[in-house]
Amino acid sequence: MPYLIDGYNLLRAVQKIEEFAALTDVQMCRAVSDYLNAVRDRGHIVFDGIGPPDKAALGGIPGVEVYFSGPSREADDLIEDKITDNSAPKSLVVVSSDRRIRRAAAKRKAIDVPADLFWQSLLARLEKQANRPAPEPTEKRHGVTEREADLWLDVFDLNQ
């Protein structure tokens, strides 16, 4: 289920939370990437304007494509176009608290999620992911190889 995110709308909603007041657009995009990786999905984040002169920090973020609407267009216009052009809108998750965007999503029967609720969900999922124990090493289930066993016997001088 791909995500379509109103970038500055989400960023402004998140920055209203005291602990995230200094969050940057790049940090937000990386958090969204971590979330999308955790839920095994992908997304597009759309920002107004032309973006920073050096967009390198916003490129290559796994699972996320970052778009800028351009100098003479609003992000809302681009997001609406993406909703309209989507071939499977019922499986599209649109993240924005903007009424215009939410109406466009509802019109195409996409799933619309307010920005603040999405961020709460993101934080909960990432916290759950962080608290998950690391996977057990395969050696625990299958044992060490004969060569590794011989090395350990040598280390502890247990070879006979």
Tens digits of residue pLDDT in 54-95: 888 888 899 999 999 999 999 999 999 999 999 999 999 999
> Is residue 143 one of the residues assigned to a domain?
no
Q: Is residue 127 part of a domain?
A: yes
* pLDDT bracket for residue 160 (50, 70, 90): low
CATH label of the domain that carries residue 8: 3.40.50
What is the rounded end-to-end Cα distance, in angstroms, of the chain? 60
- Region 42-62: what's the mean pLDDT? 91
Could you list the residue range(s) of the whole structural domain that residue 82 is in? 3-135
Let me know if residue 25 belongs to a domain: yes
Q: Say how many C-beta atoms besides its own lie within 10 A of residue 47's C-beta.
A: 23
Considering the domain boundaries, does residue 146 fall inside one? Answer: no
Residues 44, 17 contacting (CB under 8 angstroms): no
Residue 55: both structure tokens together: 């967009």
Domains in the chain: how many in total?
Answer: 1
> Tell me: the pLDDT tens digits for 132-156?
776 777 767 777 788 888 888 888 8
Q: pLDDT category, 126, cuts 50, 70, 90?
A: very high
